[in-house]
Amino acid sequence: MSASIISGKQVSEQIRESIAKEVQILTEKGHRPGLAVVLVGEDPASQVYVRNKEKACHELGFYSEVHRLSPATSQEELLALVDKLNRQENIHGILVQLPLPKQINEKSVIDAIAPEKDVDGFHPVNVGNLMIGDDSLLPCTPAGVIELIKRTGVSIEGKHAVVIGRSNIVGKPVSLLLQRENATVTMCHSRTANMAEIARQGDILVVAIGRANMIDGSYVKPGAVVIDVGMNRLDNGKLAGDVDYESAKEFAGFITPVPGGVGPMTITMLMQNTLLASKRLNGLA
Ligand code: GUN
């Protein structure tokens, strides 16, 4: 048996279409949603990510500002820009691309973003609201993971979900979102004993450990939904997930490829967050 492929690219295109329609309607009413992206320095990967975010804004009709700052920017200068964007009425989402240069404390910058414009969902207020189940802006990759699971048609409620990885940006928030959907959640991490045995109990298996091809078919319950959040650049230049796709697909019921799985969903959820933030800031949601 071979698994059905969950195409993040296709799901992402469907969601983008409906976002674009809503943006057009809001724009006609004088409420065009706006995103500001801030890039400090010249990290090549960050430059690609920022260009892709700018492109998504243009394609979906958002107002967009990209602030490209010198690698020598001081923390005070960056905080002053964040403060200005917090108060700017045509900006509803603010994203400061990480990592930041050494002279800047990332936490101080994240804490300075107005929580209602924090479209990354990284501000402690949004993290806390996620924890207690209040309305918040959800971190983009975890929100994309839940969306992809839902699109399989497999119900999350009552299922055993196993999450491998406990990072603040993926593992922890994914496990909270799965609990919110009424899954029973087990978290595994680098020190977990008997990981394959535990993973094989998962009707849903979400993998975010950052180690190329580590999770093979011996970790997969027959028929499980397997979501691979990994993005590892191999020596040959190719991109690999954390899941050994060829081996895992023989056991899984549904599986995401890398590339073309979770990756395309992240920017789409960023755009969805910006749309939601704009509606809330305009009293429309
Ligand atoms: N750098 C890599 N991924 C991300 C992300 O999701 N948000 C931000 N702000 N920086 C990143």
CATH number at residue 39: 3.40.50.10860
pLDDT at 232: 96
Same domain? 172 vs 239: yes
> From the CB of 36, is ligand 1 less than 6 Å away?
no
Q: What is the mean pLDDT of residues 45-62?
A: 97
> From the CB of 97, is ligand 1 less than 6 Å away?
yes
Pocket test for ligand 1, best of 52, 96, 120 (most atoms within 8 A of CB): 120
pLDDT in tens, 196-238: 999 999 999 999 999 999 999 999 999 999 999 999 999 999 9
Q: What is the mean pLDDT of residues 103-131?
A: 98
Instruction: Give the nearest ligand 1 atom to 169 CA.
Output: 6
pLDDT at 173: 98
Pocket test for ligand 1, best of 37, 49, 140, 272 (most atoms within 8 A of CB): 49
Same domain? 84 vs 42: yes
pLDDT at 37: 98
Same domain? 251 vs 183: yes
pLDDT at 68: 98
pLDDT at 271 over 90: yes
Compute the distance from residue 167 Cα to the ligand 1 centre, in Å.
Answer: 13
* Residue range of the domain that includes 207: 140-263
Q: Which of 195, 219, 202 shows the shortest CA–CA distance to 162? A: 202
| Residue 274 placed within a domain | no
Ligand 1 atom 8: residue of nearest CA:
97
Compute the distance from residue 97 Cα to the ligand 1 centre, in Å.
Answer: 5
pLDDT at 1 over 90: no
| Residue 280 placed within a domain | no
What gap in Å lies between CA 135 and CA 276, rounded to an integer?
11
Same domain? 54 vs 147: no
What gap in Å lies between CA 63 and CA 78, rounded to an integer?
21
Report the number of distinct structural domains present in the chain. Answer: 2
| Residue 7 placed within a domain | no
What gap in Å lies between CA 71 and CA 133, rounded to an integer?
38
Instruction: Give the nearest ligand 1 atom to 139 CA.
Output: 6
> From the CB of 273, is ligand 1 less than 6 Å away?
no
User: How many Cβ atoms sit within 10 Å of the Cβ of residue 221?
Assistant: 19
Q: What is the mean pLDDT of residues 68-91?
A: 98
Question: Which tokens is 202 given?
Answer: 């998962």
Confidence of residue 150 (pLDDT cuts 50, 70, 90): very high
Same domain? 101 vs 164: no
Compute the distance from residue 213 Cα to the ligand 1 centre, in Å.
Answer: 23
Q: What is the mean pLDDT of residues 82-98?
A: 98
pLDDT at 231: 95
Catalytic positions are 53, 97, 120
Q: What is the mean pLDDT of residues 122-126?
A: 98
Compute the distance from residue 183 Cα to the ligand 1 centre, in Å.
Answer: 27
94, 113, 132: which is the final residue of a domain? Answer: 113
| Residue 11 placed within a domain | no
Ligand 1 atom 11: residue of nearest CA:
98
Same domain? 148 vs 231: yes
Question: Which tokens is 43 given?
Answer: 């990290």
Same domain? 154 vs 46: no
Q: What is the mean pLDDT of residues 79-92?
A: 98
Q: How far is CA 9 from the centre of its chain?
A: 14
List of residues 6+ apart from 76 with CB closer than 8 A? none
Compute the distance from residue 89 Cα to the ligand 1 centre, in Å.
Answer: 24
Ligand 1 atom 9: residue of nearest CA:
97
Q: What is the mean pLDDT of residues 248-259?
A: 98
The secondary structure of residue 217, as a DSSP letter, is G
Q: What is the mean pLDDT of residues 26-33?
A: 98
> From the CB of 64, is ligand 1 less than 6 Å away?
no
Q: For the chain, give the percent of residues with pLDDT over 70.
A: 100
Q: Are 93 and 274 contacting, i.e. CB atoms less than 8 angstroms apart?
A: yes
Compute the distance from residue 133 Cα to the ligand 1 centre, in Å.
Answer: 23
Q: For the chain, give the percent of residues with pLDDT over 90.
A: 99
